[in-house]
Homo-oligomer: A and B are copies of this chain.
Amino acid sequence: MDIEDEVLGRVSPSPARRKRVEKAANTLLAHVLEAINDTGLPLEATLQGSVAKDTYTSTPDIDVFILFPESTSRKDLETVGLGIGKSVLGGEERYAEHPYVHGIYSGYEVDLVPCFRISSPVGLKSAVDRTPFHTTYVKSHLAEKQKADVRLLKQFMKGIGAYGAEAKVQGFSGYLVELLVLRYGDFRSVLAAAGSWKKGEVLDLEGRGERFDTPLVFYDPVDSSRNVASAVSMDSMACFQHAAKAYLDSPSIRFFFPRAPKTWPLPKIKKEMDKRGTGLLVVSLKRPKLIDDDLFPQMKKTAEGLQAALEAGEFSVVATSTHPMEGRVDLVFELMAEELPRVMKHVGPPVWIGHAVGFLEKWSGKAVVGPYIENGRWVALVERKYRRAPELVRGEATKAALGSSFRDLAGMEVRDTAGSLKADMKRTLSRHLDRTLPWER
């Protein structure tokens, strides 16, 4: 297939590039071993990640793991491990489940990760301890020619926006892509199989463990108590399934290398809004200093909290989207109606309930209409607190369930349709309004 050959031509390393990567990795490994020697401790160093497995698609990160005896204290592991990392890389400390050192070596991004050398991945001390087992499993099972299939599937996932287990994407990790190729044999067989996956599809290579309740389940072949696909969201799964079918029906290089999303000019945005007849509410908040894995869930939670407040106020939300920008985040709520009538219908308790008296006392003389009886319940048409969505957000945002770093509502700006049809919102609104699939751009 011409298209897939073309993709491989772009993502497989040339012999020269592979040689450069291998040289950098080997020199780095030698440096780490020297530093280990200096400690006098019985440590090992191994190459991990896509360089070790030869499955990278672009300039790869180089991952070197420093293995400590299982008897080492966590404190010693961190002190010694980070010491070695800094002496080799002079880089910055980062924190995942435990600390590691990130830096640049011969022009490559490098992670130096201290971990325990455990005998079995079951009952491990920390998640990174499992990585060497993953590397070994893939290296010993993946055939040479399947590396091309892994590269194709990785690039396909990247192209359709479903690559990566991180919170921003909630998609397919590199290891999951490798396992899918092992499970189905090659790139096209994975796509063909995905077309008939059901919600909650369960896959394995070496047997299954306890039940998981995620859209996709893939039991880790080195530890059946883990679900490698736990990060895959409903939307990533559905997007991949649809893309797989669409690609097999009508292949195109655009699945692997889509065009960048366009930012529309204002007149086009206005025309689109006229066509829909819906309203816009944009809430901008100061962007807190958080890594993406913290920022994205908090942004989502904040949008959900505000949407719940809007819906409690009877605003019907057609679509919501979140947009991290330079210095701010924009939360977009597309509304069926920007303005609601003066009254809202307040359905109270059944007349025969004791506390019905409280409803009567509260609303008698205060309701616009009623209280009157409908289907045995007290009902009143009462004056609506907020007729326009921006007023509701300004009045209720502090009471909504927001991401913790947004709870102070720092820098909050709230715009209605007219207020948001401005030049500085073009990018945000284009992203919200343009629902074209990546490969159809």
Contacts and interface: CB of A to CB of B under 8 A. Distances in A.
Nearest to A272: B369
Interface stretch (A26-34, A35-43, A168-176, A237-245): A237-245
B435 A342 contact: no
A342 B336 CA distance: 9
Contacts of A196: 352
Nearest to A338: B341
A374 interface: yes
Nearest to A369: B435
A318 B337 contact: no
Interface in A341-361: 341-343, 345, 350-352
Contacts of A215: 376
Given A215-B376, A337-B341, A241 B276 contact: no
Contacts of A269: none
B237 A199 contact: no
A373 interface: yes
A239 B345 CA distance: 19
The interface size bin for chain A is: 35 or more
A205 interface: no
A437 B350 CA distance: 17
Given A337-B341, A341-B336, A373 B238 contact: yes
A342 B275 contact: yes
Nearest to A335: B341
A343 to B, nearest CB: 5
A241 B376 CA distance: 10
Contact of A372 (B237, B277, B278, B437): B437
Contacts of A197: 352
Nearest to A318: B345
Given A234-B375, A372-B435, A376-B199, A351 B242 contact: yes
Central interface residue in A275, A277, A319, A350, by most chain B CB within 10 Å = A277
B276 A368 contact: yes
A132 interface: no
Contacts of A337: 337, 340-341
Contact of A234 (B277, B318, B376, B433): B376
A235 interface: yes
A198 interface: yes
A356 to B, nearest CB: 8
A341 B277 contact: yes
Nearest to A194: B352
A342 B319 CA distance: 15
B437 A238 contact: no
A282 B372 CA distance: 21
A305 interface: no
A242 to B, nearest CB: 5
Interface in A303-352: 318-319, 336-337, 340-343, 345, 350-352
Contacts of A372: 435, 437
A288 interface: no
Contacts of A103: none
A370 interface: yes
A102 to B, nearest CB: 34
Interface in A135-170: none
Given A277-B343, A369-B433, 10 more contacts: A235-B375, A235-B376, A238-B373, A238-B376, A239-B373, A276-B369, A276-B381, A277-B341, A319-B381, A336-B340
Interface of A: 196-199, 201, 215, 234-235, 237-239, 241-242, 275-279, 318-319, 336-337, 340-343, 345, 350-352, 368-370, 372-377, 381, 387, 433, 435, 437
27 contacts: A198-B352, A199-B350, A234-B375, A235-B373, A235-B374, A235-B375, A235-B376, A237-B352, A238-B350, A238-B377, A239-B373, A242-B351, A275-B343, A275-B368, A276-B343, A276-B368, A276-B381, A277-B341, A277-B343, A278-B341, A278-B343, A279-B341, A319-B374, A336-B341, A337-B340, A337-B341, A370-B435
10 smallest beta-carbon distances between A and B, as pairs: A277-B342, A277-B341, A234-B376, A238-B351, A372-B435, A238-B376, A238-B373, A276-B343, A278-B341, A242-B351
